[in-house]
Amino acid sequence: MTETDFENSRIHSVQPSILYGLYAFGQLMNGFGSGKKSTKFGPMNKPLYFLIVFFGLLHLTAFSQSLPFEQEVRQISARIDSLGWKKGGTVFTGSSTIRMWKSLQSSFPKENILNTGFGGSKASDLESHLFPLVIRLEPSRVFIYEGDNDLWSNVPVAAILTSLDAIVNRLQLIDPNMEIYLIGAKPSPSRWEKKLNYEIFNQKLNEYCLSKEKVEFVDTWKALTDGAGNPRPELFIQDQLHLNEKGYELWTEIFRSYFEN
pTM score over 0.85: no
Task: List Cβ neighbours of 198 (8 Å cut-off, separation of 6 or more).
Answer: 148, 151, 185, 187, 191
- What integer is the mean pLDDT of 186-211? 98
Confidence of residue 20 (pLDDT cuts 50, 70, 90): very low
Q: Taken in order 185, 186, 189, 190, is the CA torsion positive or negative?
A: negative
Quote the radius of gyration of the chain (alpha carbons, Å): 24
- pLDDT the model gives residue 162: 98
Q: Would the pLDDT of 164 be above 60?
A: yes
pLDDT value at position 50? Answer: 53
Instruction: Report CA-CA distances (Å) from 29 to 21, 36, 154.
Output: 12, 11, 49
Which residue type is seen at 4?
T
Condensed to tens digits (0 to 9), the pLDDT of residues 29-77 reads 455 444 444 444 445 455 554 554 455 444 444 444 578 999 999 999 9
Tell me the pLDDT of the chain averaged across its residues.
84
192, pLDDT greater than 90: yes
Q: Which residues contact 138 (CB under 8 A, 6 or more apart)?
A: 87, 88, 175
For each of the domains in the chain, give its residue range(s) and CATH number, in order of start.
3-64 (no CATH), 70-260 (3.40.50.1110)
The region, left, alpha or beta by phi > 0 then psi within -120 to 50, assigned to residue 94 is left
Judged by average pLDDT, the poorest of 9-13, 176-180, 187-191 is 9-13
The pLDDT value recorded for residue 69 is: 92
With contact defined as beta carbons under 8 Å apart, do 41 and 49 qualify?
A: yes
Strand partners, 182: 144, 217
Calculate the alpha carbon distances from 58 to 29, 49, 68 in Å.
19, 14, 19
